[in-house]
Amino acid sequence: MEPIEFDRALSSLLSEDDPLRVRFERWRRFLQRELTFSHSESVCHTTEHVERVLLFALLLGRELKVSSDDLDALALCAVFHDTRRHDDDLDVGHGDRAAAYYREYASAHGRNVDDRVERIIARHDRHDRISEEKFRKEGADDETLLLYRIFKDADAIDRFRFGPKALNERYLRTSAARNLLPLLRPFVLRLTGYEA
């Protein structure tokens, strides 16, 4: 099956006038116009992957009723998270590099740095046990841990771009991810050319 156009697939999830669609489009434009990727030859960690992670983070955040500011924090995590990859393997450390890019970008453009966003980006390429332990040692609140888990689930759901069995669903961290998976799995599979 040929991959279908993203915007048509997006319309199956969000109507044009849905406020979440408007937010998604704003962050999508930001990604496309403002950010660069170090590993521009990537076949796995592409702008399209980042757009899907952005969409999923916003959908999961809405499902869990996070605040508007927290939805924007999730969007920032999504758009920056893979920008500083060096390869398509595990590339442990790309989170730290992407977090540094986020800080540099914010500073260069006179924007405030959200410390939660910086830490989530920095730790997204580590095992949950290690990352969550570090968050707790720093005194992170439950909201920050929830944002981390939402973001990690959003990134994980896009593993379906590798095929229908690419995600072990028992590792999902949030109820929202488990609830939305029947909708999001076929979305990714259709979009990436797999049968749902």
Per-residue pLDDT for 87 more than 90?
A: no
At 100, is the pLDDT very low, low, confident or very high (cuts 50, 70, 90)?
Answer: very high
Cα 36 from Cα 170, distance rounded (Å): 33
Per-residue pLDDT reduced to its tens digit, 132-186: 999 999 999 999 999 999 999 999 999 999 999 999 999 999 999 999 999 999 9
Q: What is the pLDDT of residue 44?
A: 86
Per-residue pLDDT for 92 more than 90?
A: no
Per-residue pLDDT for 11 more than 90?
A: yes
Per-residue pLDDT for 96 more than 80?
A: yes
Q: Which residues of 75-102 are buried (b: 16+ CB within 10 A; e: fewer)?
A: bbbbbbbbbbbeeeeebeebbbbbbebb
At 2, is the pLDDT very low, low, confident or very high (cuts 50, 70, 90)?
Answer: very low
Per-residue pLDDT reduced to its tens digit, 26-77: 999 999 999 999 988 888 889 999 999 999 999 999 999 999 999 999 999 9
3-state secondary structure of 28: helix
Q: What is the pLDDT of residue 4?
A: 57
Per-residue pLDDT for 95 more than 60?
A: yes
DSSP assigned state of 43: S
Mean pLDDT to the nearest integer, 70-88: 95
At 1, is the pLDDT very low, low, confident or very high (cuts 50, 70, 90)?
Answer: very low
The token duo for 3 is: 């991959």
Mean pLDDT to the nearest integer, 71-97: 93
Q: Considering only CA atoms, which of 167, 172, 147 is closest in space to residue 81? A: 147
